[in-house]
Amino acid sequence: MIDNKEFRKSAHEIVDWMADCFEKIEEYPVKSKVTPQEVYAKLPDSAPEQSELMKSCEWISNNSNQRY
């Protein structure tokens, strides 16, 4: 479990990423360019033992150009 300070830092980073997405909302397609199966295939087989909040956020940032 992450401490309160790390949670706040992570939460601010997520909100910043969301705000960036809203600033560029016109660039996103109306419909998804991927199928549900493509998203499902990228999920791990099981949930992590420890919190991976920032790892998830980093993945989102690194893959945000894929325009789901």
Torsion of Cα atoms, 59 then 47 then 16 then 30, to 10°: 70
Which has more pLDDT, 9 or 61? 9
Q: Show the domains of the chain with their CATH numbers.
A: 4-66 (1.20.1340.10)
Mean pLDDT of 29-48: 84
Q: Is the pTM of this model over 0.95?
A: no
Checking if the pLDDT of 8 tops 80, the result is yes
34-43, 45-54, 59-68: the lowest-pLDDT one: 59-68
**Residues 21, 61 contacting (CB under 8 angstroms):** no
Q: Which residues of 32-56 are buried (b: 16+ CB within 10 A; e: fewer)?
A: eeeeeeeeeeeeeeeeeeeeebeee
Give residue for tokens 């969301």: 18
How many secondary structure helices (H) and strands (E) does the chain include?
Answer: 3, 0
